[in-house]
Structure 1
C-alpha cells in the first residue's frame, strides 16, 4: 500500500508476458502504440500529442526541462515540497536561472503569491507539482495555470502521482508528466507526457544538446517519420496498455470517485486513531495518498506493520523520513477493503507499541 510503485493486477502481469514484437520495424507494433497514445489521451483528457518515454517518471521531469530550457533562461519553480524543489536542479543543469517561489510543505501553492512573482519578473517557463507525494499534498493548479498562461509562460507540471486518480487540469498545461507505476498501476519503467503546440514550438526552436532527454527527436522521428529515437520497452508498453484499458473500462469519473471514497475512509480511520494528518488541513490532502505525521515513529511502525501484517507502507523523504508514514490508496490499491485492512493493521500495531 505504498504511493507507488503500486500493486499490479494479474491482467497487467499477463499482458507483460506477451511475446515480444520488434518496436523498431514491426508495423503491427506501430499500430498498437498509436492506439495506446489515443487511450492515454483519454486519461489525460486532452487532444495534445502524447509521448511514452522508456524510463521512470523522473525521466519525464528532466526531459521536459532539458528540452525547453536554455542557458540563462529564467524559470519560475513553484514549490511546496521535495519534488517542486527538485525542478530547480534540472533547470540549473541546463544553465538556466531557477527562481524559487517557495511555500511551506504543509500548505498548497497560492495564486496570489505566484501572481506577485509573475508581475515582478519575466520568465520563460514555470514548473510545479500537482501531488507532492512525500507529504500527501494536492495543489489546486487551475487559477495558477491561468495566471501563467496569461503571462505567456510555458507550464511544466509533474502529475505523476495524480494522473489517473483525480482530475488534472491538463487543458491548461503545456507539458503534463505522468508515470506508469502510480495511479495507472502498471510496472515502473515508463513516463507519459502530453505536449501542447506552444510547448512544441519552444522545443523545436531550442538548440538541443542531449539525446535520451530530447523531446524534439520524438517530433522529428516518431510524429514525423514513424520510428522511435531508441528501442522501446515493449513489455512495459503491453502492461501499460492493459492498465489503461482497466481504467477506461471502469470509467474515469468512477475511478476518481473511488479514489475520493478511499481517501475519506483512510482519513476517517486516522481521526479515530487520534493520529495527525500531514498536511493538517484535510482539504489540502491528496485523494491518492494519505500522509500521517508521527514524529519520529514512522520507520518503526512501517517495520512492525510489515512484520505483523505483511503490509508494506512507505515513510517519507528528506527531513520527513522518520516523521511521516504514507498510505498509498491509488490505482489497483484504491479499494475500501484494502484501506480498511491497512488501517486495522495500523490500529493493532499501535495497540501493541509503547509510545
Structure 2
C-alpha cells in the first residue's frame, strides 16, 4: 500500500498542503485569550478579506465547510422564512436540506447535474417575500461552475433577497469579488483552494445580512455570528476555543496567497484547468460538464464505458501514487473528480495525467498518453518540438 506521505493528493479537497503550512502547525500552542493570539487573529482576518475581496466582516470558524454553510443559514433564516435554493448536485441538495431543517420554506430550483443555474431558471422562483437566494458557486460533486453568478446576485437583489453563496471549493482559485457582486454571505473551507488542512470554515457577512441576523431571535448558540462579532470588535478573539494549530496553518496559507497575488493565483488555476481539459479530451475522454459550465478547480471526467471507476482509482493510487476522487450521489460510478486547486502547478498536472492515462491503458482502454501530455504542455506553456 502506498504510504500517505508519498501520495500526490489530487482530490477536490482536502488537497496538498505546502511544507511551509505544515511547519507552521508545529509552533507551540498559545492561549487564545492573550495578545499573541489577537495578533495572529488580526493578521488572518486582514488577509482573508483580501481573498474574499471584501471590506465587510469575515470570521474563521472551527468546523468544516458544511458547518460554515449551516452557520450562514441558521443565522439568516427563521422558521417560516422563504428560501430559494438552486440545486445542481449533492452540495445543492445539502444546502436545501440544511435550510429545510432550519424550518424554512424551501423552494428548490432543479438544475440538470453538470450544468449550473441560469437567470432564466432562477427568476421564476424569486418573489418579493423570499428571504434568501442560496446557491453553490462551484458544485464539487459535478465540476460545474455558476458562471452567471454576478447576474444571479443582481437578480436576487432586485427581488429584495439576500444572497448566500457556498464557495467552499472555489474561493481563492477563481474570480469571486464578494462586495462587487453583492454577495451577502459567502462561505469557504480551509482545505481546498486555500491549500490549508481541513477543519476551518471562513464566512463573510455584508451590512444587509447583519440587519437580518440582528432581527433573528433564534440564532444558534455555537454559530451565533452576533456573538462572534462582539468578541472580534471588543477583543479580537473568538467566542469559543479555536483550533490554534489550524489558525497557524491558515495564517501561513493566506500569507502565501498575498505573496503570490490573488490575480496570479487565479490565473494559475485557470491555466492548469485548461491543461487538464485539453489533455483528457486528447485521451478521447469526455468531460462531464459542458464547456460553458466547466470549473477551474474541480475537473469531472466521465469514466469510459467498460472501465470500473473504483478499479481505475485504485490503480492510480497504488501503482502511480496519485489520489483522485470518485463521483457522488447519482453519478457516483459515472465520473472521477480531480482537484485543480491550492498549490496546483504543471508538475501536479503532468503527474496526474500520466497516472490517469497509464491506468486506463492497464485496464484495456487504450489512449495516447503522449498526445495528452503534449496537449497539456501547450496550455501550460511547456510545449516541446
**Shorter-chain TM-score above 0.5:** yes
Cα drift, residue 19 of structure 1: 1.2
The answer to whether the aligner puts 1:79 opposite 2:90 as a matched pair is no
Structure 1 residue 34 displacement after superposition: 1.0
**1:306 matched to which residue of 2?**
317
The answer on whether the counterparts of 1:297 and 1:323 sit within 8 Å (CA) in structure 2 is no
Report the CA distance between 1:255 and its aligned residue.
0.5
1:139 paired to 2:150 = no
**Structure 2 match to 1:54:** 62
2:263 is the alignment partner of 1:267: no
How much does 1:207 deviate? 0.8
Greater displacement, 121-130 / 143-152: 121-130
1:17 and 2:23 are equivalent in the alignment? no
CA distance in 2 between partners of 1:197 and 1:224 (Å): 19
For 2:39 and 2:317, the matched residues in 1 are separated by: 43
RMSD, matched Cα: 1.3
SS at match of 2:141: helix
Match of 1:179 among 169, 172, 189: 189
Q: Size of the alignment, in residue pairs? A: 351
1:261 positional shift:
0.8
Deviation at 1:213, TM superposition (A): 2.3
Q: 2: distance between equivalents of 1:209 and 1:30?
A: 26
1:279-321 alpha-carbon deviations (Å, 9 max, x no partner): 1x22211111110111563211111111110110111211111
| Residue number in structure 1 paired with 2:296 | 287
Q: Give the structure 2 partner of residue 190 of structure 1.
A: 200
- The TM-score, its normalising length taken from structure 2, stands at 0.89
- Is residue 241 from structure 1 mapped to residue 248 from structure 2 by the alignment? no
Where does residue 338 of structure 1 map in the other structure?
348
Please give the secondary structure, in 2, of the residue aligned with 1:78.
strand
Given that residues 4 and 182 in structure 1 are in contact (C-alpha distance below 8 angstroms), is that contact kept between their aligned partners in structure 2? Answer: yes
Aligned twin of 1:93:
101
**Which runs of 5 or more residues in structure 1 are unaligned?**
none
Give yes or no for contact 1:208–1:214 (8 Å, CA) kept in 2: no
Q: Secondary structure at the match of 2:113?
A: coil
The offset of 1:219, in angstroms, is 2.0
- How far has the Cα of 1:226 moved from its partner? 4.0
Deviation of 1:225 after TM superposition, in Å, equals 4.9
Contact 2:41 2:237 (C-alpha < 8 Å) held by counterparts: no
TM-score (norm 1): 0.96
- Cα distance, 1:76 vs. partner? 0.4
Contact 2:42/2:236, CA 8 A, preserved across alignment: no
Aligned counterpart, 1:250: 260
Q: How do 1:213-232 and structure 2 match up within 5 A?
A: 213-232=223-242
Structure 2, unmatched stretches of 5+, are: 1-9, 366-385
